[in-house]
Amino acid sequence: MRPGSNKPRIILLGVNHKTAPVEIRERLALKDIEPSPLELFSNLSCCEEAVFLSTCNRVEILASSKNHEDAADTIKRLWLEKGGLSTVDLSKSIYSYKDRQAIRHVFRVASSLDSMVVGEPQILGQLKEAYRMASKAGSSGLILNRLMHKAFSVAKRVRTETRIASQAVSISYAAVELAKKIFGDLSGKKVLLIGAGEMAELAAQHLLTNGVDKIIVANRTLERAVELARSLNGAAISLDEIEDAMIEADIVISSTGAPGIIVKKEQIKKILRPRRHRLLFLIDIAVPRDIDPAINDIDNVYLYDIDELKDVVEENKAEREKEAQKAERMVEAEVIKFISWMDTLDVVPIIQKLQEKAERVRLQEMARSQKRLGELTQRQRDALEILTKSITNKILHDPVVCLRKGLPENERDQVLAITCKLFGIDDGNNNK
């Protein structure tokens, strides 16, 4: 067998939001099976190491194997069987990567370059949890340990050296970012939520994490207002009370399903004096609109509707794409470094055997020489030791440097085989 042909390889198989519908992803997540998916795949004889990642948007198996083709086929067969899928369904949805492609994919996933929303932070935490489970189960070893830790450091570098996550790319978060631009610090601010829609709720949660002091929820159904207010640690009121609530509010977010205007220009004019003309920020994310567009004519009142927020989001997405290009270059540089490290996995043992053989020859020749030279002083023995070590090190220097620097893929196996043959050493695959 050629040297290098039995070295560990990295393989990755998976499906994600771009390749498979949710019903396929749910089946491949294998949530209700025993043993667990991680145990199932790590117990395969062809998989030396394994990490299993399952999120709402992707299911992936990362493995290390000395026979990547056999491992990939075995994983697919097992996935088909346990997921209850047809070969056609799986083949249309699955992607399969090895070595360089697999490494690049892991780095891109960790850096949120392969996410539905580029730059979102959740995937890194999910990947860390998958690795934690693999470490706990003992299914991650030398190769995947290094790969995962490198993926985490790549993701950290992307976040700190680019602005990939600094731009709001959801309607709810864009609303919060605009509020921060208008008020600066949001701590101590009061929020009135009109309606209990999902986007308004998300915006309210973002506002809470940014330090707002109090949230009041107004809804047509008071029970729903009470339920949402409780989850936000706020207060609930009826729609009839919103005018009074706006006197105290700094930020108003409206997202009802009402057919007409709920907040009128006359109402805002009426509360200006009680508010002492404090700045008021209104966000209308309802369709049709809840808030009278004419309100924008009033001093110290800022109104944004959903179309304006969408424009902000699109601008931010374009900005993220520019930052993503920088991140891709960082990822590619780290992939090259990791491949270089992997290339040393089969070279290092050969270098060690080369050095060991040279040392054996040196010691044998030293012993022979000492018999011929007779009794030597300690100083003479030390000088001979230094001389012979220097000679062997200098002879080995060029071949060792050549091997350590890495070899072209198309020459790799041939050079390693010739090295073993020239120096008469075991390549690890023969029984010499």
DSSP-assigned beta bridge partners for residue 214: 190
Place of tokens 């070595």: 99
Alpha carbon distances (Å) from 383 to 63, 358, 368, 389: 51, 18, 16, 10
At 299, list the tokens.
């001093």
What Rg, from alpha-carbon coordinates, does the chain have? Answer: 32
Calculate the CA dihedral of residues 270, 228, 236, 234 and round it to 10 degrees: -90
Among 285, 281, 295, residue whose Cα is nearest residue 189: 281
- The closest of 222, 288, 226, 282 to 254, measured between CA atoms, is 282
Element (H, E) at 309: helix 306-373
Q: Which amino acid would we find at residue 36? A: S
Block residue for tokens 């936000």: 232
Query: Catalytic: 420?
Result: no
3-class secondary-structure state, position 299: coil
Contacts of 219 (CB under 8 A, 6+ apart): 194, 195, 196, 225, 228, 236, 238, 239, 256
Burial class, 335, CB count within 10 angstroms (exposed 0-12 / middle 13-18 / buried 19+) = buried
Of the residues 46, 47, 56, 420, only one is catalytic, namely: 56
The Cα 320–Cα 174 span in angstroms is 14
* Catalytic positions: 56
